[in-house]
Amino acid sequence: MKNIAILASGSGSNAEKIVNHFLGSTKARISLIASNKKGAYVLERAKKLGVPSHVFSKVALESGELTAYLKNLEIDFVVLAGFLLQIPDNLIAAFPEKMVNIHPALLPNYGGKGMYGDHVHRAVKASGDKETGITIHLVNENYDEGKIIFQTAVGIDENDSPEQIAEKVHVLEHKYYPKIIESLI
């Protein structure tokens, strides 16, 4: 059985969907939900879901302390779910092609530093694009530039607000992210 760690900075709605997807799985289990923010709601979700949690600092991430912690727990695969810090080389090297992220747009559009959450949806709206979607990709040393594993799109109505675009994207995230993670393990 593979051990999965989820790294998240915010509310963790994707993390909850992933945990629920792997309940009862014989293939993998969510062994840890970790956050760089003490007050992140994802930690409350972890508690409610019965998943061990861990809070770490940016220094611990960059120094390799988090990498050592994950290795000590025998983590096999790392999932980013709303994690906003850049992943350092030590963590990438420890989990080569075993770390995945999801982006709320069709990369390479609307990716890179600072392009997350509502920033992406406002940019998509401002562009006049007729569709948006999700991109699931491997993590490398650059924001949103890892090998694309999966993309799917949803149409945008010209009257859709950024909030309505976000809702459409969340539906795709919750539907596909857990399944794609399972296929990678």
Annotated binding site for (6R)-10-formyltetrahydrofolate: 58, 101
Which residues are documented as binding site?
Answer: 12-14, 58, 101
Please give the radius of gyration of the chain, using alpha carbons only, rounded to the nearest integer. 16
Catalytic positions, please? 103
Report DSSP letters for 141-161, one per residue. Answer: SSTT-SPEEEEEEEE--TT--
Q: Which residues of 27-49 are buried (b: 16+ CB within 10 A; e: fewer)?
A: ebbbbbbbbbbeebbbbebbeeb
Backbone angles phi, psi at 87, to 5 degrees: -80, 125
